[in-house]
Amino acid sequence: MKILVVEDDKNLVKSLAKGLTEEGYIVYTESDGFKARDKALSEDWDLFIFDLMLPGLTGIQLCELIRFKNIKTPILMLSALSETEDKIKALDIGADDYLTKPFHFRELVSRIKALIRRNKEYISDKSPLLTCGDLSLDYAKNKVKRADKIIELSSKEFKLLQTLLEDKDQVVSRNKILQKVWNTNQDTYTNVIDVYISYLRSKIDAEHTKKLIHTIKGRGYMISEQ
């Protein structure tokens, strides 16, 4: 497994490279956002680890660029910032997970394994087309439509919608959403679920009389025509 670590803290990047190499990963490092951009776009990777604050391009800008290029490689963001808004911003522009410094190395390894595993499962198990009434999600083309109108979604919004559509007409628990979309069981992410459900509703249901996304009080969410 090939990982690109982009971090400008020399001691931390040296420690990460050593530890991850001992775990069996092939690790490349960069400390500059521009050099990281060139490396990220010129080769195939199994995982990106980006620090939020970098010289040149920031981790946020790198993430935005990679998702703009439709590269679906998992991205784990590192940051000393622990505010919810910072996490939401990173996740909204396409990061798959967010780890606040300082962190335990074993937790980092656990999250890396889970991200890589989930990405493989996500690719192998994906349905090419999911629908609910006049709403459709085409994974292969990375497109979402309702009533033939293209709906622009962030990477996280796309995954959340896919998770709901895969269990159409069934209640999807918060725990399942956390596992499939954010790859975590941590309750601290539950407010992020509420934020992203709100995002989806504003883009999918706001202009339509028939609402598809439903809150099932005390249980989770459901996407259904009923």
Q: Which domains does the chain have, with CATH numbers?
A: 2-124 (3.40.50.2300), 127-223 (1.10.10.10)
Q: How high is the mean pLDDT of the chain?
A: 88
Burial category of 149 from C-beta neighbours within 10 Å (exposed 0-12, middle 13-18, buried 19 and up): exposed
Q: What are the tokens at 170?
A: 């069934």
Residues 153-172, mean pLDDT to the nearest whole number: 91
Residues 6+ apart with CB under 8 A from 183: 96, 97, 111, 114, 115, 118
> Which pLDDT score is estimated for 175?
87
Instruction: Give percent of the chain with pLDDT exceeding 90.
Output: 54
pLDDT at 134 (0 to 100): 94
* CB distance 59 to 6 below 8 Å: yes
Please check the confidence at residue 204 and state whether its pLDDT lies above 90: yes
Are residues 106 and 141 in contact, defined by beta-carbon separation less than 8 angstroms? no
Counts of helices then strands in the chain (DSSP H, E): 8, 12
pLDDT at 122 over 60: no
Q: What's the pLDDT score for residue 123?
A: 55
Provide mean pLDDT across the span 134-155. 89
pLDDT for the residue 202: 96
pLDDT tens string 7-43? 989 999 999 999 999 999 999 999 999 999 999 998 8
Going by C-beta distance under 8 Å and a sequence separation of 6 or more, which residues neighbour residue 215? 197, 221
